[in-house]
Amino acid sequence: MSEPSTQSNKLQWKWVGITLAMYAVFYLLPLSFFVHSAQSISGVWMFAGLIIVAAVAGYLSKGVTIWEPAIASLGLVFLFFFAVLLFVPPIRGRVFEAIIPMAIALPTVFVLSLLGAWLGERAQKLWKTQPPKST
């Protein structure tokens, strides 16, 4: 008789929250510093940071967490655009102009996060040592 798998197919919502917090601290915070100092670094970090943070989350988590960083990245995009709408002084007619960048950002950020999470899971398989199975 086969043993039940310890790996579940359910989303690990804990890792969605952890990854969202990681994006806030390790992605948005450095990005806000880069924007004011070096625009070339901020341009690279906009793409590479998504992949790196998702890869770290995928590597650190137990089990397979590929969808969790991607869901967290969507939350990041929504939070970013809501923050822009709240804190940037509204200019008449500009609210609808935010829809087009958001429509472009959502799939881009989602795919980059999926790629990063997949890379993190691959690194986890290759580099983390598995405990020996007891017989």
Question: Distance of CA 73 to CAs 38, 39, 55, 63, Å?
Answer: 24, 22, 12, 19
Is residue 65 within 8 Å of residue 22, measured between CB atoms?
no
Indicate whether 130 belongs to any domain.
no
Indicate whether 88 belongs to any domain.
yes
Indicate whether 18 belongs to any domain.
yes
Indicate whether 111 belongs to any domain.
yes
Give the C-alpha separation, 26 to 38, whole Å. 17
Sorted by sequence, the CB contacts under 8 Å of residue 118 that are 6+ apart come out as 58, 66
Indicate whether 134 belongs to any domain.
no
pLDDT confidence band for 90 (50 / 70 / 90): low
Asked whether the whole model's pTM tops 0.85, one would answer: no
In this prediction, residue 12 carries a pLDDT of 93
Q: How many residues does the chain have?
A: 135
Indicate whether 64 belongs to any domain.
yes
Indicate whether 5 belongs to any domain.
no
Whole domain around residue 47: which residue ranges? 13-125
Indicate whether 117 belongs to any domain.
yes
Of 12-26, 52-66, 75-89, give the lowest mean pLDDT range. 75-89
Is residue 73 within 8 Å of residue 115, measured between CB atoms?
no
3-state SS, residue 61: coil
Alpha carbon dihedral 62, 127, 132, 7, in 10-degree steps, equals 30
In this prediction, residue 93 carries a pLDDT of 55
pLDDT confidence band for 39 (50 / 70 / 90): confident
**Which residue do the tokens 């999926």 mark?**
114
Number of separate domains in the chain: 1
Buried b (16+ CB within 10 A) or exposed e, 72-91: bbbebbeebbeeeeeeeeee
122 C-beta neighbours (distance < 10 Å), count: 13
